[in-house]
C-alpha cells in the first residue's frame, strides 16, 4: 500500500497540538516533576535491556496523546506494514525500502516483485561468512603467500560511514586485522593511508552500490596503480573485492566476478551496513558478531512493528522530535553517547537523518509549508561537555538532546565508569532544573562574596534549565545492542518522513553539485573557464593561475 499523501497540517491533531503548544510552551518541567511523583515512571519505556526515560521533555500526558493521535491520523500503522512488506514506498526511485529484510529471520518470506528475496540474502550472508573465515584464518593469502594483516574499505557516504562507525564502535571485539577507511576524493587522504600499509598483506574492499561514484573510483584507481608497482595484474584478483549492484562496472574495473558481493537496489546506501556493505565489519569482528549486529536490529524491527505506539521507542522518539521541530521550532538536535566507542555515531546518523528527511517537497510534489529534516550533531560525553555544552546550557537556542549511556563498561573499570556516568546523569539533571537566581545568591553568600560582586555575577551564573533530553540506558555495548540502537534511529527517520509527508529514501539533493563538479573538472583540465556567476569565475581563474 502506498503511503498517505496529505499534509500533517490538515489533521485535527496538528491543530490541537498548535493550541496545546500555546498552553505548554511556558511551563516548566521542574514544576511538572513536582506536580506528579510518577512522571518518570509514566514516561519510561523498558524494552529488552534498553531503558528510555523521556520524562525530561516539555510534554504532558496530553501532549503525548495528541502526538500519538497525529501518528494515527497520518496512517502510521499502515505505513509501517507497507515498509516491512516491501511496498514501493521510495516512489521517486520506484523502489521498495527493505534494509529490514537483510536482518530478517532465515525463514521469513519477503517479496519484491512477487519473488521471495530471503534466499538471495542468505546466500550473500553465507558468502560473507566463508570469506571472513578464509581471510581471518589465513586460508586466503596475498600474492606473496603471506596472510592478510590489513583491510582497506574504499567507499563514501553509506558505503563508508556505516562500516566505519560500527568497526570503531566494536573495537573491543576486533580480531588481528587492522581495518582502514578511505573515502575522501582528497588525494592526501589516500596517500597518507598508503604510507601505512604493505601491498603484500592488504586486502582492498571497494564498496559502491552504483560503482559510478567519483571518489570511490578515483581512490580505487590510485590504490590499484600503487599496488601494481610491486604486484602484477593477475594479483589484483587476490587483493581486490567489491560490493556493488553493478556487476558490469565492477568486472570492467578488473575485479574477478567471484570476488563480487552483490547488493540490491531496494537497500538505500545509508541503510546498507546490514548488507555486504558490512563486509569490513565482518572481517574486523568476525561473522558471528556481524550476525549478532543483524539480530539486534531484527529485534528492534519486531519491537517497532508490534509494540503499541505509546510503548514504541522509535515512534516516541520521532514524535518528540516533531514536537520540538515543528512546534517549538528547534533548529537542531544533539546526540551524545557516553562512550568513546560511539564517536562516529553522530556523523553516521547525519547521513541517515539529513539525507533522508532533508526534503522540502511533499509526496504530492508540492512545496511544504512546515519544517522537515532535523539538523543532527554530537560528540561523545564527556568530551562534548568541555566543548559545546555551554551553548546547550546557556545559549539562546533550544537543542533537544539524546543522552545514550551504558550500565557497564567493557573493561570493567568502575572507577572510570562511575565518574563517566555521574556526568551523564548530572548533565540531564542540570539541563532540566537549571539554577535559579536565589540558588546562585545563596552560593555567593556562603563563599563570602561582597554584595556588589555577587549581584554583578548572578545573571551570568543563572541556568534557565527546562532543556529537553531523552535518556537511553543500555546494558553494555555489544554487537547485538548496537544493531538495535542503529535500527531504532532508522525507524525514527521513517516515522518522521511518514508524518511530514515526504519521501525519505531518495537523495536528489546531492546530484546538482556532482554534475557541476564534473563540468568544472573539464574546465580545470582544459584551462578554459566557461560562463559562471562572477564569484565562481573569479575563484576558478585564481585557482588556475596559482595552483
User: Interacting stretch for ligand F6P, rule CB under 6 A, among 186-194, 209-217, 324-332, 333-341?
Assistant: 209-217
**Residue with smaller CB distance to ligand F6P, 15 or 184:** 184
Contact assessment for residue 99 and residue 272, using Cβ atoms and an 8 Å cutoff: yes
Of 456 and 508, the one with the shorter C-beta distance to ligand F6P is 508
Give helix then strand counts, H and E, for the chain.
23, 13
Q: What CA–CA distance (Å, rounded) separates 262 from 117?
A: 13
Of 143, 41, 33, 51, nearest to 403 by C-alpha is 51
Taking residues 423 to 452 in sequence order and writing x for each that binds ligand F6P by CB under 6 A, - otherwise, the string is ------------------------------
H-helix or E-strand containing 237? Answer: helix 236-239
99, 209, 467, 492: residue in contact with ligand F6P (rule CB under 6 A):
209
Contact positions with ligand F6P (CB under 6 A) in 345-374 = 355
Work out the widest C-alpha separation in the chain, in whole angstroms.
Answer: 82
Segment 396-415, which members bind ligand F6P (CB under 6 A)? none
User: Do 499 and 75 form a contact (C-beta atoms < 8 A)?
Assistant: no
CB of 213: closest distance to ligand F6P in angstroms?
3
Size of the site for ligand F6P (CB under 6 A): 14
Residue 19: exposed, middle, or buried by beta-carbon count in 10 A (0-12, 13-18, 19+)?
Answer: exposed
Examine residue 213 and tell whether it contacts ligand F6P (CB under 6 A): yes
Question: Please, what is the minimum distance in Å from the beta carbon of residue 301 to ligand F6P?
Answer: 21
Element spanning 153, H or E: strand 150-154
Report the alpha-carbon distance of residue 270 to residue 162 in Å, rounded.
7
219 touching ligand F6P, by CB under 6 A? no
The residue with cell 550472508 is 125
Smallest gap from Cβ 274 to ligand F6P, in A, equals 14
Residue 269 or 373: the one with the smaller Cβ distance to ligand F6P is 269
| Residue number, 158 or 296, with CB nearest to ligand F6P | 158
- The contact mask relative to ligand F6P for 231-270 (x = CB under 6 A, - = no) is --------------------------------------xx
450 Cβ contact partners less than 8 Å away, ≥ 6 residues apart: none
Q: Is 386 a residue of the active site?
A: yes
Beta pairing partners, 50: 47, 474
Q: How far apart are the C-alpha atoms of 122 and 5, rounded to whole Å? A: 35
Q: Which is nearer to ligand F6P, 323 or 348 (CB)?
A: 348
Rounded CA separation 303/48 (Å):
10
Binders of ligand F6P in range 478-507 (CB under 6 A): 507
- Using rule CB under 6 A, residue 216 touches ligand F6P: yes
What DSSP line would sit under 179-196, residue for residue? EEEE--S-HHHHHHHHTT
Find residue 260's DSSP bridge partners.
242
| Among 210, 364, 383, 445, interactor with ligand F6P by CB under 6 A | 210
Asked if 510 touches ligand F6P (CB under 6 A), the answer is: yes
Q: Which three cell numbers stand for residue 539?
A: 575563484
Closest approach of Cβ 204 to ligand F6P, in Å? 15
Closest CB 259 distance from ligand F6P, rounded Å:
17
Q: Of the listed pieces 179-187, 204-212, 384-392, 422-430, which binds ligand F6P according to CB under 6 A?
A: 204-212
Closest CA to 30 of 521, 436, 308: 436
- Look up residue 231 and give its three cell numbers: 604486484
Q: Is 379 helix (H, G, I), strand (E, B) or coil?
A: coil
Provide the minimum distance between the beta carbon of 122 and ligand F6P in the complex, in angstroms, as a whole number: 23
Contact flags string 154-183 toward ligand F6P, x per CB under 6 A? --xxxx------------------------
Task: Give the separation between CA 9 and CA 501, rounded to whole angstroms.
Answer: 10
Select which of 77, 386, 419, 541 is catalytic.
386
Count Cβ atoms within 10 A of the Cβ of residue 357 and give its class: 0-12 exposed, 13-18 middle, 19 or more buried.
Answer: buried
Contacts with ligand F6P, 119-158, as mask; x by CB under 6 A: -------------------------------------xxx
Of the listed 46, 514, 530, 541, which one is catalytic?
Answer: 514
Task: Look up 355 and say whether it is catalytic.
Answer: yes
Q: Hey, is 312 helix, strand or coil? A: coil
Q: What amino acid positions are annotated as catalytic residues?
A: 355, 386, 514
Query: In the complex, which residues of this chain contact ligand F6P (CB under 6 A)?
Result: 156-159, 208-210, 213, 216, 269-270, 355, 507, 510
Amino acid at each position: 500500500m502506498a503511503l498517505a499523501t496529505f499534509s500533517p497540517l490538515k489533521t485535527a491533531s496538528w491543530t490541537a497540538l498548535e493550541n496545546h503548544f500555546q498552553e505548554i510552551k511556558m511551563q516548566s518541567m521542574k514544576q511538572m516533576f513536582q506536580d506528579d511523583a510518577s512522571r518518570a515512571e509514566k514516561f519510561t519505556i523498558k524494552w529488552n535491556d534498553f531503558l528510555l526515560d523521556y520524562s525530561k521533555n516539555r510534554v504532558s500526558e496530553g501532549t503525548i496523546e495528541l502526538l500519538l493521535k497525529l501518528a494515527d491520523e497520518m496512517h502510521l500503522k499502515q505505513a509501517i506494514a507497507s515498509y516491512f512488506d516491501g511496498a514501493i514506498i521510495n516512489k521517486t526511485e520506484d523502489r521498495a525500502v527493505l534494509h529490514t529484510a537483510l536482518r530478517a529471520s532465515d525463514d521469513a518470506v519477503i517479496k519484491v516483485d512477487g519473488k521471495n528475496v530471503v534466499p538471495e540474502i542468505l546466500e550473500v550472508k553465507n558468502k560473507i561468512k566463508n570469506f571472513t573465515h578464509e581471510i581471518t584464518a589465513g586460508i586466503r593469502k596475498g600474492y606473496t603467500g603471506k596472510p592478510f594483516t590489513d583491510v582497506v574499505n574504499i567507499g563514501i557516504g553509506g558505503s563508508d560511514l556505516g562500516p566505519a562507525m560500527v568497526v570503531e564502535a566494536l573495537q573491543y571485539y576486533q580480531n588481528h586485522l587492522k581495518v582502514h577507511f578511505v573515502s575522501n576524493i582528497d588525494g592526501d587522504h589516500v596517500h597518507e593511508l598508503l604510507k601505512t600499509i604493505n601491498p603484500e598483506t592488504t586486502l582492498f574492499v571497494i564498496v559502491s552500490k552504483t560503482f559510478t561514484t567519483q571518489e570511490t573510483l578515483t581512490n580505487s584507481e590510485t590504490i590499484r596503480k600503487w599496488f601494481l608497482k610491486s604486484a602484477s595484474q593477475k594479483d589484483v584478483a587476490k587483493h581486490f573485492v567489491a560490493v556493488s549492484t553493478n556487476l558490469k562496472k565492477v568486472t570492467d574495473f578488473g575485479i574477478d566476478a567471484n570476488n563480487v558481493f552483490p547488493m540490491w537496489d531496494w537497500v538505500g546506501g545509508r541503510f546498507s551496513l546490514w548488507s555486504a556493505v558490512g563486509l569490513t565489519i565482518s572481517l574486523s569482528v568476525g561473522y558471528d558478531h556481524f550476525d549478532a549486529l543483524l539480530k539486534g536490529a531484527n529485534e528492534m524491527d519486531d519491537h517497532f512493528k508490534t509494540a503499541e505506539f505509546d510503548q514504541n521507542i522509535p515512534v516516541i522518539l520521532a514524535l518528540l522530535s516533531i514536537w520540538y521541530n515543528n512546534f517549538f521550532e528547534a533548529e537542531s538536535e544533539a546526540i551524545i553517547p557516553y562512550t568513546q566507542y560511539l564517536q562516529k555515531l553522530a556523523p553516521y546518523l547525519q547521513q541517515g537523518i539529513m539525507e533522508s528527511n532533508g526534503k522540502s517537497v511533499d509526496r504530492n510534489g508540492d512545496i511544504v509549508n512546515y519544517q522537515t529534516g532535523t539538523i543532527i550533531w554530537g560528540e561523545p560525553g564527556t568530551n562534548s561537555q568541555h566543548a559545546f555544552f555551554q551553548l546547550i546550557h546557556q545559549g539562546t537556542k533550544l537543542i533537544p538532546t539524546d543522552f545514550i549511556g551504558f550500565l557497564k563498561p567493557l573493561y570493567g573499570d568502575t572507577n572510570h565508569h562511575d565518574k563517566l556516568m555521574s556526568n551523564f546523569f548530572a548533565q540531564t539533571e542540570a539541563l532540566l532544573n537549571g539554577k535559579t537566581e536565589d540558588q546562585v545568591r545563596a552560593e555567593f553568600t556562603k563563599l563570602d562574596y561582597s554584595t556588589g560582586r555577587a549581584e554583578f555575577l548572578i545573571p551570568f551564573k543563572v541556568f534557565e534549565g527546562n532543556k529537553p533530553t531523552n535518556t537511553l540506558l543500555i546494558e553494555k555495548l555489544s554487537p547485538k545492542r548496537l544493531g538495535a540502537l542503529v535500527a531504532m534511529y532508522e525507524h525514527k527517520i521513517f516515522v518522521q518522513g511518514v508524518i511530514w509527508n515526504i519521501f525519505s529514501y531518495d537523495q536528489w539533493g546531492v546530484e546538482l553539485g556532482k554534475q557541476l563538479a564534473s563540468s568544472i573538472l573539464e574546465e580545470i583540465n582544459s584551462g578554459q573557464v566557461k560562463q559562471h556567476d562572477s564569484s565562481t569565475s573569479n575563484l576558478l581563474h585564481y585557482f588556475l593561475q596559482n595552483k
